[in-house]
Amino acid sequence: MKTGTNEYGNWQLIEFFIKKSKKIGNKSKDLTIVFTAMGKQASFVETIPIGERIVVHYYPKCTQNNNYWNTNLRATEVEKHVKRNVIPIYLGDELANKEAYFMKDSEEFNFSKKEEEAPIKVPEFKPTQCSECGCETNGVSKCGICEFQ
């Protein structure tokens, strides 16, 4: 973690990696995604143990330096992953149902599978006539020329 002080006060910055090995066909591919967290999010990221499932909300920030473009993924919010149908159960200070919150080795993402696309419904075009000049319009009573004269 990098820390410092400027005219606005103290600042914190941390870069963290998400690594996952994926099997695509017969090959194994290692994926590494680098995020940057600042301020309170940086403090929170530093407390997360390695291997814990997290959800990262981010935006990409691109900068140009000597005709090279750099992309930085800025984390705006980092939170622990919680399955929607799981209720945390604590025994004292320890989480009793840890297996529901950590990624298992058997859980894999399938990048080769295509997602089914939802059909796009285009509204039907019903031509009408302009009440002033009689030209064809797209369902309104007056065309653009007659409307603004």
| CA-only gyration radius of the chain, Å | 26
For 101-148, what is each residue's pLDDT tens digit? 555 555 554 555 555 555 555 556 677 788 888 887 776 777 777 776
Q: What is the DSSP string of 84-113?
A: TT----EETTEES-GGGTB--TT----SSS
Backbone φ/ψ region at 134: left (φ over 0), alpha (ψ -120 to 50), beta: left
Residue 78 or 97, more confident: 78
Q: Average of pLDDT values for 24-31?
A: 84
- Copy the structure tokens of residue 109: 């993402």
CA dist 107 → 21, 33, 110 (Å): 11, 18, 10
Residue 52 clears pLDDT 70, i.e. is over it: yes
CB 36 within 8 A of CB 17: no
Q: Average of pLDDT values for 61-80?
A: 91
Please report the pLDDT score of residue 103 as a whole number: 55
User: The CATH number of 2-100 is which of 1.10.260, 2.40.50, 4.10.410, 2.60.120?
Assistant: 2.40.50
**pTM greater than 0.85:** no
Residue 97 or 17, more confident: 17
Distance CA 54, CA 110 (A): 19
> What are the structural domain ranges in the chain?
2-100
Residue 74 clears pLDDT 90, i.e. is over it: yes
| Whole-number percent of the chain with pLDDT over 90 | 20
Grade residue 13 by pLDDT with cuts at 50, 70 and 90: very high
Q: What is the rounded average pLDDT for all residues in the chain?
A: 78
